[in-house]
Amino acid sequence: MASRNRSSTSDYSASNYNQTAAFVYSAEYTASILSFLKPSVGERIADFGCGPGELTLRIQEAVGMSGFTIGIDYNNDMISRALANGVRHAYMSDLQNIQIPADMLENSFDAVFSNAVLHWCKQNPRGVLDGAKRLLKVGGRFVCEMGGFMNCIGVRIGLHRAVKRRGYEPDKMDPWYFPTIEEYQGLLESAGFSVNTISLVPRLTPLLDGGLRGWLQLFARRTFLKGFSDQEAAAIIDEVVDMCEVDMKDKEGNWALMYVRLRFLATLDSP
């Protein structure tokens, strides 16, 4: 196994994200979570893990010029793209330990929003909630959709098996945190939030551009498989694609993946 740090077309760049994963921020898939958020004119809303900013822009439009929206993401390329796309405020920081200019931001937000991000925060999920608490007013909303229990079932099993077969410990490489309702509700409550609603929502998701191979290149190559050489990673990806074909590819050659989303609206009770 070799560690590497060089760019390639499989990097998690804004362009690759837009090309392979536009379904993540599509109107169809985000209607429910945006209806939980209900952004209104004049509100201050932070978008945790804004990516290239497609959803941040929609929130920015809803809060209008009298409101304030900020996107936060730890990927510099995503932040640059979000600003270029018209997001007025975007900030680079790890959500697990948010560093923000305190005088500008603390305890002044009506809502923190996040779509398809918090399952990447396996190292310190509680740190994300502490960051949200620092931004929110008492009574502020925390509205989120993320990968939940059994998300991407099949692919994750395939990656674990392929890596284990090569003598490595998959649990250490696995970047994903897919909590159950009970686990995440407990975390929210212990951090001082009241949970208004929380559910697990299975969603069959067609993989349009690049099928499962494209998905693995985007979401696993520089995360789960980051310690492997290009050659080793390609062999693992081939193996996983082969393993999953029986369940995830239809007779016309179209791929789909079973996403399971954890969706919640919580309210901050106390600072």
203, β-bridge pairs: 259
Task: Based on the shown chain and the rule CB under 6 A, indicate whether residue 50 belongs to the binding site for ligand SAM.
Answer: yes
Q: Which of 19, 23, 62, 74 binds ligand SAM (CB under 6 A)?
A: 74
E-strand spans in 49-98?
A: 68-73, 90-92
Residue nearest to ligand SAM (CB): 51
In the bound complex, what is the minimum distance in angstroms from residue 155's beta carbon to ligand SAM?
15
Sequence-ordered list of residues with C-beta below 8 angstroms from that of 159, at least 6 positions apart, any chain: 170, 174, 220, 224, 225, 236, 240
Task: Based on the shown chain and the rule CB under 6 A, indicate whether residue 142 belongs to the binding site for ligand SAM.
Answer: no
Do residues 129 and 96 lie in contact, with contact meaning Cβ atoms separated by under 8 Å? no
Of 115-123, 191-199, 225-233, 238-246, which segment contacts ligand SAM by CB under 6 A?
115-123
Q: Enter the DSSP assignment of 117.
A: -
Interface mask (CB under 6 A) for ligand SAM, residues 85-114, using x and -? ---------xxx------------------
In the bound complex, what is the minimum distance in angstroms from residue 114's beta carbon to ligand SAM?
7
How distant, in Å, are the alpha carbons of 35, 47, 165, 198, 204 from that of 179?
A: 23, 21, 26, 12, 19
Task: Based on the shown chain and the rule CB under 6 A, indicate whether residue 36 belongs to the binding site for ligand SAM.
Answer: no
Query: What is the CB neighbour count within 10 angstroms for residue 181?
Result: 16
Of 121-140, binders to ligand SAM (CB under 6 A) are 121
The rounded distance, in Å, linking the Cα atoms of 90 and 87 is 7
The site for ligand SAM (CB under 6 A) is made up of 24-25, 49-51, 54-55, 73-75, 78, 94-96, 115-117, 120-121
